[in-house]
């Protein structure tokens, strides 16, 4: 059997959701809304299903969705992309990340990753025989350690893969940070895989900036979006990559060998969604901002050290001010078992520095991540349960 996969644990999201179910806990762990996406988007997909759009669609995506992705890029960021030659539809951003890594990495190439990182990044880089170069962000500020990042780039660097707005930190990369990254990419003549699934989930006037819009970056970036996040439909697994025409054929060939196509009826729904008016996208972030505020205020009142969140579905909290002396893993486990509320330990987003899973030396190990993409009544109930437990 494949040694790397044998050594890979079950994802923390599955582990914690199973534990939540087992203890009938309110699941503020795995990031999925408990409300449905826009009815017109869902209806368009349902109608497409009933209309018989159920056979293999074109490999790189149905033309209507590729056009919608291109129009969305133009409307929000001024990115001009050819819908036929520069957009590839995938089965979720998860597939898109793997397809983009496959498109550029050869065995022995180095790939820069920024921790805390989403859990598919590292195993896929390693499975491709590439060498991960990890750079850590640390709470409470999650600032980009510029000297360390610069040192992670070298003659073998082929790509950097990073996520903004960033899960789990809620950090939105600034234009100055992006300019710093862009400069490294240009100097080392490499590519960027930009996981931008939370592009529309930003708060307090923070605006998402695609790295692709910076000077010199248009040809080097593969920009990834997800219908799961943009339309609160995480089970749909429809993702989209925008990249230069010189890169798209390889991304498409990776997709061809991973899933080949993505359900055409869902693609129809997403196409309807991406051309919705600006009010939809503004409403999405203001609706979530109110939930962020509700949960942040409640957690603060309970004594958690709540860190600011500029985007995503997530709040990270320091559990030490509660008087918790153990680590985040034991905290999240105990919270699930006793308070009946589930959160995700942030250490899960840091790579162990050795093969023993405990040894993620120096990574912060007293932070819990809470998802706030839930109905207000459920958020209030979770807070009440924690208050009764504390
Ligand atoms: N990247 C990040 C940072 C995520 O949080 C997620 C979780 N949904 C994904 C990628 C995967 O997105 P999708 O569900 O579209 O595969
Ligand atoms: N992106 C979601 C999260 O971070 C979960 C995705 C998954 O379960 N793999 O919670």
Spans of all domains in the chain: 3-30+279-389, 39-276
Sequence-ordered list of residues with C-beta below 8 angstroms from that of 55, at least 6 positions apart, any chain: 264
* CATH architecture designation of domain 3-30+279-389: Alpha-Beta Complex (3.90)
Probe target for ligand 2 pocket from 98, 165, 234, with the most ligand atoms within 8 Å of CB? 234
Strand arrangement, sheet containing 314-318: 305-306, 314-318, 367-371, 344-345
Say which CATH topology domain 39-276 has: 3.40.640
Pair 104, 161: CB distance under 8 Å: no
Q: Would you give the DSSP letter of residue 116?
A: S
Pair 147, 28: CB distance under 8 Å: no
Q: Would you give the DSSP letter of residue 317?
A: E
Q: What is the mean pLDDT of the chain?
A: 96
Closest protein CA for atom 1 of ligand 2: 31
Stretch 358-379: mean pLDDT, rounded? 88
Give CA–CA dist 329/334, Å, rounded: 9
pLDDT at 358: 46
Cβ of 120 less than 6 Å from ligand 2: no
Closest protein CA for atom 2 of ligand 2: 31
Pair 288, 31: CB distance under 8 Å: no
- Residue (of 369, 363, 365) closest to 136 by Cα position: 363
Give CA–CA dist 277/273, Å, rounded: 9
Cβ of 31 less than 6 Å from ligand 2: yes
Closest protein CA for atom 8 of ligand 2: 13
Give CA–CA dist 75/165, Å, rounded: 19
Least confident of 35-49, 298-312, 354-368: 354-368
Handedness of CA 15, 20, 196, 360 (dihedral sign): negative
Give bridge partners of residue 133 from the DSSP assignment: 112
Tell me the percentage of the chain whose pLDDT exceeds 70.
98
Residue 362 has pLDDT above 80, yes or no: no
Q: CB count, 10 Å around CB of 385?
A: 17
Give CA–CA dist 165/310, Å, rounded: 8
Give CA–CA dist 364/29, Å, rounded: 18
ipTM confidence score: 0.97
Give bridge partners of residue 142 from the DSSP assignment: none
- What pLDDT digit, counting tens, does each position of 149-198 carry? 999 999 999 999 999 999 999 999 999 999 999 999 999 999 999 999 99
Sequence-ordered list of residues with C-beta below 8 angstroms from that of 59, at least 6 positions apart, any chain: 252, 255, 256, 260, 261
How far, in Å, is the centroid of ligand 2 from the Cα of 190? 28
pLDDT at 9: 86
Cβ of 92 less than 6 Å from ligand 2: no
Q: What is the pTM of this model?
A: 0.97
Residue 335 has pLDDT above 50, yes or no: yes
Strand arrangement, sheet containing 131-136: 87-90, 239-243, 221-226, 191-195, 157-163, 110-115, 131-136
Probe target for ligand 1 pocket from 98, 122, 229, with the most ligand atoms within 8 Å of CB? 229
How far, in Å, is the centroid of ligand 1 from the Cα of 195? 8
Give CA–CA dist 162/17, Å, rounded: 25
Tell me the percentage of the chain whose pLDDT exceeds 90.
96
* b (16+ CB within 10 A) / e for 94-115: bbbbbbbbbbbbeeebbbbbbb
Residue 354 has pLDDT above 80, yes or no: no
pLDDT at 363: 87
pLDDT at 360: 57
Residue 355 has pLDDT above 70, yes or no: no
């Amino acid at each position: 059997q494949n040694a790397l996969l044998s050594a890979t644990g079950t994802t923390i999201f599955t582990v914690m959701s199973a534990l939540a179910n087992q203890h009938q806990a309110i699941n503020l762990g795995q990031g999925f809304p408990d409300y449905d996406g826009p009815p017109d988007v869902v209806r368009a997909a349902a109608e497409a299903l009933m209309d018989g759009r159920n056979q293999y669609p074109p490999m790189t995506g149905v033309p209507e969705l590729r056009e919608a992705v291109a129009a969305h890029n133009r409307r929000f960021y001024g990115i001009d992309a050819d819908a036929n030659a520069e957009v590839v539809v995938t089965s979720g951003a998860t597939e898109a990340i793997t397809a983009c890594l496959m498109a550029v990495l050869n065995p022995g190439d180095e790939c820069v990753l920024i921790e805390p990182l989403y859990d598919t990044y590292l195993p896929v880089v390693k499975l491709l025989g590439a060498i991960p170069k990890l750079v850590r962000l640390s709470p409470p500020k999650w600032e980009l350690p510029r000297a360390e990042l610069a040192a992670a780039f070298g003659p073998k660097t082929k790509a950097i893969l990073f996520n903004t707005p960033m899960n789990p930190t809620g950090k939105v990369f600034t234009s100055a940070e992006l300019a710093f990254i862009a400069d490294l990419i240009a100097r080392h003549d490499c590519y960027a895989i930009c996981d931008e699934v939370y592009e529309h989930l930003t708060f307090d006037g923070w605006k998402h900036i695609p790295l692709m819009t910076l000077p010199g970056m248009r040809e080097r970036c593969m920009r990834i979006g997800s219908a799961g996040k943009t339309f609160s439909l995480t089970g749909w697994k429809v993702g989209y990559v925008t990249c230069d025409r010189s890169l798209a054929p390889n991304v498409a060939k990776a997709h061809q060998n991973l899933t080949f196509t993505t359900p055409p009826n869902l693609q129809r729904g997403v196409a309807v969604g991406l051309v919705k008016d600006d009010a939809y996208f503004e409403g999405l972030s203001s609706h979530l901002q109110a939930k962020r505020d509700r949960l942040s205020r409640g957690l603060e009142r309970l004594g958690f050290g709540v860190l600011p969140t500029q985007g995503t579905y997530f709040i990270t909290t320091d559990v030490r001010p509660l008087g918790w002396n153990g680590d985040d893993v034991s905290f999240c486990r105990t919270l699930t078992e006793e308070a009946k509320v589930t959160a995700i330990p942030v250490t899960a987003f840091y790579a162990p520095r050795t093969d023993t899973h405990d040894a993620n030396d120096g990574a912060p190990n007293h932070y819990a991540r809470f998802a706030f993409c839930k109905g207000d009544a459920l958020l209030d109930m979770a807070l009440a349960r924690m208050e009764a437990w504390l």
